C-alpha cells in the first residue's frame, strides 16, 4: 500500500532532484578526462563502496538467496548500467539542456507502465493532465533553442537519452513490485552487481590505467559517485517503496524548476516572462497529479 508523501518523502525527493540535477554538470567535467565507460565504472564503485560501508554500520547484510541477486542484476542493468552509459555517451554530443528536456519524458513512461503493473497507480484524467502540464512547463523553461534542436544532427544521442528515460521508468516500476527489503540493502546490492558487470568491459576497452586525469575530473567523479550514485540510489529505493513510481517521477519536472529558481535567486540571472509561465505549469502539473486529500505531514 502506498503512503501519501509526507515531509520526509518530499525532502528525499528534493535531495534526488539536487543530486541528479547536478549530475549533468559533474558528468560534463568528468568527461574531460574519462571516457564514458570508465566514468560509469568509477561512479558505480564509489557509490557501492559508500553504501556497503553504511550498510554494515547499520548492522545490515546482503541477502544470500540467489533470487535476490537476480533481482539486483535486473535493477543494475535497467537502473544503472544502461542509463548511465547512454546519458554519458549522449552528453558528448548534445547539450545538457536537451538532456534535461528529454529526461522529462520519464513521468509519462512511468505513468503508463505503473497503470498496468502497480496497484493504486491507475491512469486518471487528473494524472494525465498533470503530467502533460508538467512536461509543457519543462519545454517552456528550457527554451525554444533547445526544443528546436531536437531531431537534428544529434538524433542518435537524443534517442539514447529517451531510451535511458524508459529504462529508468521500467526500473522504477520493477523495484516497486519486488518483495519488501531494506532500501539500503537493495541499493548496495544493485550497485555491487553493476560494478562487477562493467569492470572487465572497462579494463578491456578503455585501459583506464593509461589515462591522464585532471584533479577537477577526479573531484567530479567522487562527487558523482557519492551524492548522485550511492546516496541517491539509496534514497531512490526508499521513495519508490514508500510512495510509488509516479511520485518519484516528479523529480524530472522539479529538477529544471530548481535550476531556474537557483539561477534567478542566487545568481541573479535574467529571466523571461515565459519562464514564469513554465514554472507555473510545472507547479500546477505537480499539484494536479497529487491526490486531492494530500497533506504534507512534518
pLDDT tens for 195-216 read 999 999 999 999 988 999 999 9
Q: Which residue has the cell 518523502?
A: 9
> In whole angstroms, what is the distance from residue 296 CA to residue 284 CA?
17
pLDDT per position as a tens digit, 137-157: 777 766 665 556 566 657 788
Contact of 99 with 161, CB cutoff 8 Å: yes
- Cα–Cα distances (Å) from 84 to 68, 91, 142, in that order, read 22, 11, 22
SS3 readout for the chain:
CCCCCCHHHHHHHHHHHHHHHHHHHHHHHHCCCCCHHHHHHHHHHHHHHHHHHHHHHCCCCCCCCHHHHHHHHHHHHHHHHHHHHHHHHHCCCCCHHHHHHHHCCHHHHHHHHHHHHCCCCCCCHHHHHHHHHHHHHHHHHHCHHHHHCCCCCCHHHHHHHHHHHHHHHHHHHHHHCCCCCCHHHHHHHHHHHHHHHHHHHHHHHCCHHHCCCCHHHHHHHHHHHHHHHHHHHHHHHHHHHHHCHHHHHCHHHHHHHHHHHHHHHCCCCCCCHHHHHHHHHHHHHHHHHCCCCCCCCC
* pLDDT average, residue stretch 71-97: 86
Which pLDDT tens digit goes with each residue over 42-57?
A: 999 999 999 999 999 9
Question: Shortest CA distance to 120 belongs to which of 180, 45, 62, 173?
Answer: 173
Cell of 169: 521508468
Collapse the DSSP code of 194 into the 3-class scheme (helix H, G, I; strand E, B; otherwise coil) and give the result: helix
pLDDT at 298: 32
Residue 167: CB atoms within 10 Å: 22
Cα maximum dimension of the chain: 58
Question: What cell numbers appear for 288 in the block?
Answer: 494536479
CB 230 within 8 A of CB 23: no
For residue 265, how many other CB atoms are within 10 A of its CB?
9
Q: What is the pLDDT of residue 44?
A: 95
Q: Tell me the pLDDT tens digit for each residue of 109-118.
A: 888 888 887 7
Tell me what pLDDT residue 148 has.
61
Mean of all residue pLDDT scores within the chain: 83
In the chain, what percentage of residues exceed pLDDT 90? 38
Coil, strand or helix: which one is 37? helix
Task: Please give the Cα distance from 141 to 136 (Å, whole number).
Answer: 9
pLDDT (tens digit per residue) in 273-284? 776 787 788 778
Cell of 186: 537493495
Q: How many CB atoms lie within 10 A of CB 65?
A: 8
Amino acid at each position: 500500500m502506498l503512503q501519501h508523501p509526507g515531509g520526509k518523502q518530499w525532502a528525499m525527493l528534493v535531495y534526488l532532484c539536487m543530486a541528479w540535477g547536478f549530475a549533468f554538470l559533474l558528468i560534463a567535467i568528468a568527461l574531460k578526462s574519462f571516457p564514458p565507460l570508465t566514468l560509469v565504472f568509477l561512479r558505480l564503485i564509489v557509490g557501492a563502496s559508500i553504501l556497503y560501508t553504511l550498510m554494515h554500520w547499520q548492522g545490515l547484510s546482503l541477502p544470500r538467496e540467489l533470487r535476490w541477486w537476480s533481482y539486483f542484476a535486473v535493477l543494475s542493468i535497467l537502473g544503472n548500467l544502461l542509463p548511465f552509459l547512454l546519458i554519458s555517451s549522449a552528453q558528448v554530443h548534445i547539450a545538457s539542456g536537451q538532456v534535461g528536456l528529454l529526461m522529462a519524458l520519464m513521468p509519462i513512461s512511468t505513468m503508463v507502465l505503473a497503470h498496468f503493473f502497480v496497484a493504486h497507480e491507475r491512469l486518471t484524467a487528473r494524472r494525465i493532465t498533470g503530467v502533460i502540464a508538467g512536461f509543457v512547463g519543462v519545454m517552456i523553461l528550457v527554451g525554444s533553442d533547445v526544443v528546436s534542436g531536437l531531431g537534428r544532427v544529434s538524433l542518435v544521442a537524443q534517442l539514447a537519452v529517451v531510451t535511458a528515460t524508459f529504462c529508468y521508468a521500467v526500473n522504477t516500476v520493477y523495484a516497486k513490485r519486488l518483495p519488501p527489503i531494506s532500501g539500503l540493502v537493495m541499493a548496495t546490492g544493485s550497485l555491487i552487481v553493476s560494478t562487477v558487470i562493467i569492470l572487465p568491459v572497462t579494463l578491456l576497452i578503455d585501459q583506464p590505467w593509461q589515462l591522464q586525469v585532471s584533479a577537477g575530473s577526479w573531484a567530479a567523479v567522487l562527487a558523482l559517485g557519492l551524492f548522485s550514485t550511492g546516496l541517491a540510489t539509496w534514497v531512490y529505493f526508499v521513495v519508490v517503496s514508500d510512495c510509488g513510481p509516479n511520485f518519484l517521477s516528479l523529480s524530472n519536472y522539479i529538477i529544471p524548476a530548481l535550476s531556474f529558481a537557483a539561477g534567478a535567486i542566487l545568481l541573479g540571472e535574467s529571466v523571461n516572462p515565459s519562464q514564469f509561465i513554465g514554472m507555473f505549469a510545472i507547479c500546477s502539473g505537480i499539484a494536479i497529479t497529487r491526490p486531492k486529500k494530500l497533506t504534507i505531514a512534518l
